[in-house]
Structure 1
Amino acid sequence: MLYHFVGIKGSGMSALAQILFDMGETVQGSDIEKEFFTEIALRDKGIKILPFNKENIQPGMKVIAGNAFSDDHEEIVAAHELGLEVVRYHDFLGQFMNEFISIAVTGSHGKTSTTGLLSHVMNGAKKTSFLIGDGTGMGLPNSEYFAFEACEYRRHFLSYTPDYAIITNIDFDHPDYFASMSDVFNAFQEMSRKVKKGIVACGDDENLKDLNALVPTYYYGFNEDNKVIAKNVESSELGTSFDVYIDGEFYERFTTPMFGNHQVLNALAVITICYLEKLDIILIKDALQTFGGVKRRFAEKKHQNQILVDDYAHHPTEIKATLESANKKYPTRKIVAVFQPHTFSRTQAFLQDFADSLKPADKVFLCDIFGSAREASGELTIKDLQNLIPNASLITEETVADLKAFENDVIIFMGAGDIQKIQKAYENLK
């Protein structure tokens, strides 16, 4: 079978293409010719990437269509004309996972980091194939488990019936689709009814406490009323260490090389899944210590005396968590935030929240809002956000030299658009 991916550079699509390729299938795909970080792994594996063209569609193919592309896309139209099977990404993934013991990782924030951690730790004990929202995917032969990121946007996760689900939190996001916080909650509530064995949920999240699932719910967190609790949390140069108690009894002390309370919560979720599946605790403990992170989630590099961080944070809650991690890891350095808001609708909905989340930084630089001209209605500009943050400055590719003034500090480039172009321009300065 030859699989053709319409929109293969999408993060989920790229990961799924890699999984099928690893499992011995013939895979190719098409997309726009703009360069995306997700295509690096595809090219490394020799997966063919073509420009969009209806001539790409040939008899005998199975077409997997990315969710960003409508039914009138030229390749999808051509596939239907040839009588080919066309399956949407989320529908294909929903069918695929039934071959494994599957663990869906969902939530408004932290999905990618938790999925990456889960797949890494579980592979320390059992073969686990995985699909991560940073464009990473791997299909391991004879895998017993499948860990995957399940996105709530447009309720796509309702296509899945996993054995387990990790739910990290419920927060209002995607204001272009969800009408209200209750609309978001209802989507997660409906998703919870599709889980077959158990739900692992953050009990410290007030919204998750209202979840009414049909399977057992195992709550984790710092609060004493959770089933799985982290205590005696300590940070050091090695990362963060903490004791885990399950049902009030000491289980084990773990160390993660990550920093911040949200990283401890992610680890608790993973440990809980491993506990439920009775995986070897020593192997799990060792694997947790060697986790190197995922793409675009606090990805660091040294630049002269500075630390440059690339991070996907594009919601106020995520920005707060990223700045907390930076302050805990680098308590003696100034933290500089370079932020690009993602879409005009999200910026309008969270304008004051963005300002409040960025204020803990020692200095804030703002880039123009990333979004289509079609969406840019009204008079909203980046200056509306700048006016809410004391001493915030604007920055472009032409003015990145302003960052040189912070010669011994941490500079975090945050956003879900093309914020990397600002970091790249800065690194390329003579």
Structure 2
Amino acid sequence: MTTYHFIGIKGTGMSALAHILYDSGEKVQGSDVEKRFFTQEALEQKNIPILPFSEDNIKDEYTIIAGNAFSDDHIEIQAAKKNGNTFYRYHEFLGEWLKQYTSIAVTGAHGKTSTTGLLAHVLNETYPISYLIGDGTGKGHVESKYFVFEACEYRRHFLQYEPNYAIMTNIDFDHPDYFTSIDDVFDAFQSMADRVKKGIIACGDDEKLQQIQAKVPVVYYGFADTNDFQAQHVNETENGTEFDVFVRNTFYDTFTIPVYGDHNILNALSVIAICHYEGMRAEDIKNISTFQGVKRRFTEKKVGNQILIDDYAHHPKEITATIDSARKKYPNKSIVAIFQPHTFTRTKTFLQEFADSLSLADKVYLCDIFGSAREESGKLTIHDLQRLVDDSTILDLSHTETLLTHSDSVLIFMGAGDIQKFQQAYEEQLTKHKNNTKLKNA
């Protein structure tokens, strides 16, 4: 039996792939840095070995899968190449593995992870499936009918895949360290569209996606009445959002999702469209209402009168969408944004857009920029963003108690770096504050 060794097994895509192979009956192990990641717990529950990096981890008979975060001069990659091991990069292996199934790639500048999670949930309630979600969650099934996976446009990695279907949520300028312009991003998505074998489900409200040329049928979804699948009569309730779906202007059914915001309705529409296209019954698709969400996407915790939300939002459009969801869900609470920019290149490119989107909150706290090892910081600092956001405050990790002053509020911790450490520090302050209050009242 082949042993698959993952170089960088704690990465979100890598850990998800490790779960899939393990669940499919393969032998799996991996190596990574010592720092603890949120993906680790699920790997440990399956007793998947996680080793420190060492060339001794590379045995002759192993098949090696390397994470995209590691360059060719990494000690284990060098050892594998020297040894002549069967060697794949993450996206290369995934491209081969998914050929066994009816594969559905979920791609787009924003909303990939939430949409992949939602689609996996709905299909999983009806069929045996495999899925790989960008929050580190993965599941394999020996008799899988479908393989649902998140496909990232960064460095055009998604061009390693030839899926049966692709959901395209939107095209937007991001990853400015790689893409040169919105046209460069469009070009990548057009190349991806050329690789799809059966059909594309695309958001018709997105101007760029309307320009995609494809050799397969393109089904459009959105709010505009020109779409094949259209959402109408949106109604926000205490439990979520309810809306009617029309298929080519004919009423199809009413659906409920346990979340808020137009972006979530669009994500749900894409899932309804692909499931309808594949012949699923409306009552089975309605399992969309029981979706519990994915990790780090509007993940909530209630502490006293405060709601703490952890969210991966790291682009101005995602920040806008997250604040919008919070306003709709908690219309009577004030919204406090705590934001850690991710990469200097992205911060510099979207400096004014970040300021505009953050200004939608009632109060803004900023954390130091989380840089990438691949870039130079230049002279940019968090103070450049602070100058553009009225009444914003720099949050110091050792003084998060300042957030205690926002008693009846929603605190949104946003970013793709290690913003969770600020939330953790604040939760420790909350516990301390609670204990002190108990002592005073004793």
TM-score w.r.t. the length of structure 1 is 0.99
Distance in 1 separating the partners of 2:269 and 2:427: 36
Moved more, 368-377 or 210-219: 368-377
Counterparts of 1:18-417 in structure 2 under 5 Å?
18-285=19-286, 287-372=287-372, 375-417=375-417
Q: Which structure 1 residue ranges, 5 or more long, are not aligned?
A: none
Q: Say if 2:32 and 2:51, in contact at 8 Å, map to a contact too.
A: yes
Partner SS state of residue 284, structure 2 = helix
Moved more, 287-296 or 369-378: 369-378
1:58-101 per-residue CA deviation (whole Å, 9 max, x = no partner) reads 12100001111122211111112222101111011001111110
Q: Say if 1:125 and 1:280, in contact at 8 Å, map to a contact too.
A: no
Partner SS state of residue 169, structure 1 = coil
Moved more, 377-386 or 261-270: 377-386
Q: Which structure 2 residue ranges, 5 or more long, are not aligned?
A: 433-442
Partner SS state of residue 167, structure 2 = strand
Partner SS state of residue 364, structure 1 = strand
Distance in 1 separating the partners of 2:147 and 2:359: 39
Deviation of the 1:304 alpha carbon: 2.1
Instruction: Tell me which amino acid in the other structure corresponds to 1:348.
Output: K
Deviation of the 1:372 alpha carbon: 4.4
- Over aligned residue pairs, what C-alpha RMSD do you find? 0.9
Instruction: Tell me which amino acid in the other structure corresponds to 1:186.
Output: D
Distance in 2 separating the partners of 1:194 and 1:213: 9
Deviation of the 1:376 alpha carbon: 3.9
Distance in 2 separating the partners of 1:171 and 1:375: 21
Deviation of the 1:374 alpha carbon: 7.0
Distance in 1 separating the partners of 2:400 and 2:215: 53
Distance in 2 separating the partners of 1:59 and 1:248: 60
Distance in 2 separating the partners of 1:172 and 1:72: 30
Deviation of the 1:211 alpha carbon: 0.6
- Residue in structure 1 matched with residue 437 of structure 2 by the alignment: none
Distance in 1 separating the partners of 2:374 and 2:152: 25
Distance in 1 separating the partners of 2:355 and 2:361: 11
Instruction: Tell me which amino acid in the other structure corresponds to 2:383.
Output: K
Distance in 2 separating the partners of 1:235 and 1:44: 38
Q: Say if 1:8 and 1:29, in contact at 8 Å, map to a contact too.
A: yes
Q: Say if 1:106 and 1:167, in contact at 8 Å, map to a contact too.
A: yes
Deviation of the 1:131 alpha carbon: 0.1
Partner SS state of residue 70, structure 1 = coil
TM-score w.r.t. the length of structure 2 is 0.96
Moved more, 64-73 or 291-300: 64-73
Q: Say if 1:234 and 1:241, in contact at 8 Å, map to a contact too.
A: yes
Partner SS state of residue 399, structure 1 = helix
Instruction: Tell me which amino acid in the other structure corresponds to 2:114.
Output: S
- Residue in structure 1 matched with residue 436 of structure 2 by the alignment: none
Deviation of the 1:409 alpha carbon: 0.8
1:228-272 per-residue CA deviation (whole Å, 9 max, x = no partner) reads 000000001110000000011010000000110100000000000
Partner SS state of residue 207, structure 2 = coil
1:174-204 per-residue CA deviation (whole Å, 9 max, x = no partner) reads 0000011100000000000000000000000
Distance in 1 separating the partners of 2:352 and 2:320: 13
1:344-376 per-residue CA deviation (whole Å, 9 max, x = no partner) reads 010000000000011110100000000147734
Instruction: Tell me which amino acid in the other structure corresponds to 2:303.
Output: H
Instruction: Tell me which amino acid in the other structure corresponds to 1:161.
Output: E
- Residue in structure 1 matched with residue 440 of structure 2 by the alignment: none
Deviation of the 1:279 alpha carbon: 1.0
Deviating 4+ runs (over 2 angstroms):
372-378
Distance in 1 separating the partners of 2:129 and 2:265: 22
Instruction: Tell me which amino acid in the other structure corresponds to 2:3.
Output: L
Instruction: Tell me which amino acid in the other structure corresponds to 1:179.
Output: T
Instruction: Tell me which amino acid in the other structure corresponds to 1:331.
Output: P
Deviation of the 1:278 alpha carbon: 0.3
Instruction: Tell me which amino acid in the other structure corresponds to 2:290.
Output: T
Partner SS state of residue 428, structure 1 = helix
Deviation of the 1:314 alpha carbon: 0.2
Q: Say if 1:397 and 1:425, in contact at 8 Å, map to a contact too.
A: yes
Distance in 2 separating the partners of 1:210 and 1:354: 27
Distance in 1 separating the partners of 2:377 and 2:307: 37
Q: Say if 1:313 and 1:322, in contact at 8 Å, map to a contact too.
A: yes
Distance in 2 separating the partners of 1:81 and 1:185: 38
- Residue in structure 1 matched with residue 435 of structure 2 by the alignment: none
Deviation of the 1:144 alpha carbon: 0.2
Instruction: Tell me which amino acid in the other structure corresponds to 2:418.
Output: D
Q: Say if 2:371 and 2:377, in contact at 8 Å, map to a contact too.
A: no
Deviation of the 1:134 alpha carbon: 0.3
Partner SS state of residue 296, structure 1 = coil
Distance in 2 separating the partners of 1:139 and 1:41: 14
Moved more, 306-315 or 365-374: 365-374
Distance in 2 separating the partners of 1:21 and 1:73: 25
Deviation of the 1:205 alpha carbon: 0.7
Deviation of the 1:128 alpha carbon: 1.7
Q: Say if 1:32 and 1:52, in contact at 8 Å, map to a contact too.
A: yes
Distance in 1 separating the partners of 2:373 and 2:181: 25
Instruction: Tell me which amino acid in the other structure corresponds to 1:150.
Output: A
Partner SS state of residue 272, structure 1 = helix
